[in-house]
A and B are shown apart, each in its own frame.
Chain A
Amino acid sequence: MPEHTVEIVSDAGEGAQKAAIAFAQLCAKAGNGLWTVEIIPSEIRPPPHTTGSASGNRIRLAERSQVTNAGNRADVVLAFNEMALLSRLQADSLADDVLVLIDDHWASHENEQYRISYRDVIDQFRARGSTILEVPLERETARHVEDAQQGKNMFAVGILCALYSKDVDVLEGVIRGIFKGKASEVIELAVTLARAGYEYGVSSFEECFDIRATPTDVPKVAMNGNTALALGAIAAGFELCSMYPITPATSASHALSDLFEDFGGFVHQAEDEIAAIGVALGASYAGKTALTITSGPGMALKTEFQGLAVMTETPLVIVDVQRGGPSTGLPTKIEQSDLLHALYGAPGDAPKVVLAPSTIEECYYILSVARKIAEEFRMLVIVLSDANLATGQQLFDRPDVFATPERPPLDLSPVPVGALPYDWDPTTGLSERLIPGQPGGMGVTTSLNHDRDGKACYDAERNIRGHQMRSRKLAALQQTLQPPKVHGAPEGELLLVGWGSTRGAIEEAVDAARDRGLSVSSLHLQFLSPLPPGLKDIFAKFRRVITVELNYSDDPQAPLITEENRRYGQLAWVLRAATLLDIDCFANVPGRPYMPVEILDEVKRILAGRSDSESPPKRLTAVKGAS
């Protein structure tokens, strides 16, 4: 069996998360490729036994070691109650023939409403063609522990261990690892319950699944994107991360706080988002390039400081772990809605570098790239991660940490007489920065417009020159980039263009479509600013180009929406402006990753509706004077 997608859901606080982590680790240790996504409510303790309380994980496991996305509708769901189960149906996350494992104790619960609701939901699933396996989570757990709520998750993971023919001894090791540091009674109870669940499964299930991993010699790691960012920040040689708590970014700072002091760095929790970037900027100005990690609302608060970093050409790295917006929006869920804000969100013209990792593995490496660009180009680099990467787990090749370069000490040598703080190369805009402590380099670094000597000035000529030089650095960086590689054939009917964590789902959809003979390819952009070279040439080889993004766009069929007023997905706006091509978008805000099958359906719809007379992407006709 090549792969399966499993969901585990409970009421918040009942521990489906922990069960899922244990199951994912069990699969990872068996060598299965893996991608997990958290299913998480926005409150810590929402009202129990409601669809809004569902909390848990989706786990996609495969024979192959490379799993790049969260997959399609789930094959198996294990639910602690029927409302949690129902919530997954409402989220359109389950296959019609999904195998449902559900705690049977609601069937005979003293509360009649629960009994009725349980029967209704079960009937609904049976009618869809699902197989129902009622399992005694609560009943069996209660034989070992007084409060079954605090333990049935371990019984549940034991059941899954049996269902997927995994080794229960390995599971025991995983559980002992997860509960490390807890009281020994707690650990032993967890192990007992997991083994009881396993025994129950082995003796009760007529049929089990076996997703056997493809053997590999390459050591693998499994972690979430925020942990990968934290380890990547250490490997990149950062010494200061300044932050303010915000979902879903904070766990990156948790991971960093655990380790950083042993590597000579520290996490500074500032009094607010503004101070967080201010402290990072101050540290960078003093010569130690720092980073700040935040999410959308924090990005908004940091915009004035972003302008300051750009104006003073102080290297700085911001990680924005995107979530649903606007405002507080969907704090725990994925969106890719901060692209335009990252590109343009600062007062005045403020050219910045914007990068987006597309996998959890890339989260580890991207901060080294970001830091190098920030320092060499004296620029603000924004890294756009998202809630999907942040909380999902992926299996990937263990990074070779011994290849991590040594960080040179600060160069505080005297500044040559006559050296200027902004000694811009007139072609590239690049200059060497002066660091406090360097004799002969004294002078003010100002937020005011300034010339090469760093002194404030207000005349047109020197204002224009400053803008040109700061902007020119983006062009200089763009010249060093390679054209991105097309996934699939380099020409055809349709090109999907994506960025960030949608890559795995897009490429899987493209592969599936090509298997069906559809002429579709995809392109993924890691650099959003500057855009890589060659895009127009690549696009010209396809009849249609659409972006696939997890942000809002108007449905062209919706009331009042016309060609004139339609708002596009964010990358589509950027690419339309950059190429003058009529690039469309498949952009929506479901608060979860796209399933490959949804993208595949969109591809089929587009290609079915295409008329053969249609020419390659139209020029934007509304742009006057464009010839």
Chain B
Amino acid sequence: MSAIAKESLLEVCAIDEHRLEDYDAERPRWCKGCGDHGVLAALQRVLRKNNMEPENVVAVSGIGCSSRLPHYLNTYGFHGIHGRALPIATGVRLSRPELPVIAIMGDGDCFSIGGNHWLHAIRYNINAVVLVLDNEVYALTKMQASPTTPDGWKTNTTPRGTYLHPLNPLSAVMGMTNVSFLAQTATWLPAHLDETIEKAWNHHGLSFVRILQRCPVFMPKAFGEGGLHFPVVFLENDDGIPVHPSLLNRGPLQPHDHRNINEAQRVAVTVDPAPMGLLYQNTEVPAYEEIRWQRKARPDHEAFLQRLDAAMDVHTVS
């Protein structure tokens, strides 16, 4: 079917198709110029593209500017506590594996206070889209250094400059067992952001996406003033994340085999230029909730009672 014919068909069947507005909740209260707006719009586009029923999607977040996202997305949402989006997301997936889950976190949220959950979630490999909106600073609490704040940058907790090299989340992820999907993109590359979230949405397993985004209030100079002077390479592969030709003025293409874990690990340790695109994908890693569901069997009530009776027999003494 030609693209135009498909469009007309969609028009005719519009009654069954969701519109972008169907995924709008209240008006976002993020600062003007914040990258969070772009991520919200990209998420809404991917939900629209997949014609998701809003009631069948759960967006879980932690605490921080980006974690307000579920407030603005018209699905079921859970805005929890700092660092703990992933355990909640895991709980949803374990109990209701029919519900797609999106977890949204910030850099401090995921890499610092939620670090333990982050590493273990990758190993569990629950089937969920995990987005870290990394602005390299704690913004909601007004400019403290985060694990990814660049070398020597001044913040309210490091007024004479940071002390440590920033954490590289990509190499941390690639060091974990059971990693199944790792991509990096940036909000100043909207077409690439859309393609990346789409790719993550379609991956079966935990799709971990680090999204670089500038905080216009507290870190306006981050990422070369929001991508203007930020060296990147676009990872290129037929099955990877497509790179629109218009992006090539931002950085060159680099051929990359995202199925090769050694190559992915090598690329993941490179921070300058920053790799953009799909670093690694392995569709063979089983999802934790599916392993668990395969091994349990829900009996009907009669069988349930018989089994409980048998379990009680073991302890019956007279």
Residues of chain A having any CB pair with chain B under 8 Å: 25, 28-31, 213, 216, 219-223, 227, 231, 234-235, 239-240, 242, 259-266, 268, 270-272, 274-288, 290, 304-305, 307-308, 312, 395, 398-399, 401-402, 404, 406-407, 436-448, 455-456
Contact = CB atoms under 8 A, between A and B. Distances in A.
10 contacts: A28-B318, A271-B120, A285-B92, A304-B84, A312-B78, A398-B316, A436-B56, A447-B63, A455-B71, A456-B71
A262 B99 contact: no
A411 B93 CA distance: 18
A286 B312 contact: no
A59 B192 CA distance: 70
Contacts of B54: 442
Interface stretch (B38-46, B262-270, B273-281, B295-303): B295-303
Given A231-B308, A442-B74, A270 B87 contact: yes
Contact of B58 (A260, A308, A436): A436
A447 B79 contact: yes
Contacts of A438: 55
A446 B79 contact: yes
A436 B91 contact: no
Contacts of A455: 26, 71
A283 B292 contact: no
B78 A444 contact: yes
B25 interface: yes
The range of chain B's interface size is 35 or more
B88 interface: yes
B163 interface: no
Nearest to A25: B317
B307 A219 contact: no
Interface string B117-131: 101100000000000
Contact of B76 (A263, A272, A441): A441
A271 B117 contact: yes
Nearest to B83: A274
Contacts of A290: 91, 95
B312 A398 contact: yes
Contact of B296 (A264, A288, A446): A264
A441 B309 CA distance: 39
Contacts of B305: 401-402, 404
B81 interface: yes
Contact of A278 (B55, B87, B296, B304): B87
Contact of A231 (B70, B76, B79, B312): B312
A407 B304 CA distance: 11
Contacts of B309: 401-402
Nearest to B99: A436
A503 B1 CA distance: 76
Task: Give 7 closest A-B pairs by Cβ, nearest first.
Answer: A282-B91, A278-B87, A264-B298, A283-B95, A444-B77, A282-B88, A271-B120
A240 B312 contact: no
Interface string B48-83: 000001111010100100000011001111111100
Nearest to B69: A444
Contacts of B315: 221-223, 227
B11 to A, nearest CB: 24
A286 B93 CA distance: 9
Contacts of A285: 78, 88, 91-92
B187 interface: no
Contact of B94 (A260, A268, A305): A268
B156 to A, nearest CB: 23
Given A264-B296, A283-B92, A442-B54, A436 B81 contact: no
A560 to B, nearest CB: 41
A562 B84 CA distance: 45
A304 B305 CA distance: 37
B150 to A, nearest CB: 29
B206 to A, nearest CB: 14
A11 B164 CA distance: 51
B317 A29 contact: yes
A399 B311 CA distance: 11
Contact of A266 (B96, B292, B318): B292
Contacts of A265: 296
Given A263-B307, A444-B79, A436 B317 contact: no
A436 B95 CA distance: 11
A262 B77 contact: no
Contact of B71 (A268, A308, A446): A446
Contacts of A436: 55-56, 58, 76, 92, 96, 99
B120 A278 contact: no
A563 to B, nearest CB: 41
Contacts of A402: 305, 309
- Scoring B74, B307, B315 by chain A CB atoms within 10 A of each residue's CB, the highest score goes to B315
Contacts of A242: 91
A439 B22 CA distance: 13
Given A271-B116, A401-B309, A442 B76 contact: yes
B71 A29 contact: no
A30 B99 CA distance: 53
A468 to B, nearest CB: 22
Contact of A287 (B95, B292, B298, B308): B95
B318 A31 contact: yes
A28 B81 CA distance: 49
Nearest to B55: A439
A275 B71 contact: no
A221 B313 CA distance: 8
A442 B92 contact: no
A279 B90 contact: yes
Nearest to A275: B87
A272 B90 CA distance: 13
B174 interface: no
B109 to A, nearest CB: 13
A406 B299 CA distance: 11
A272 B74 CA distance: 32
- Scoring A221, A280, A288, A442 by chain B CB atoms within 10 A of each residue's CB, the highest score goes to A442
A545 B14 CA distance: 73
Nearest to A260: B296
Interface string B243-261: 0000000000000000000
B78 A263 contact: no
A268 to B, nearest CB: 6
Contacts of B79: 444-448
A33 B267 CA distance: 68
A261 B116 CA distance: 27
A216 B98 CA distance: 50
Contacts of A240: 91, 94-95
Nearest to A231: B311
Contacts of A456: 71
Contacts of A28: 317-318
Given A282-B87, A282-B88, A286-B96, A406 B116 contact: no
A275 to B, nearest CB: 4
Given A263-B308, A279-B90, A437 B99 contact: yes
Nearest to B117: A275
A439 B56 CA distance: 8
A557 B16 CA distance: 79
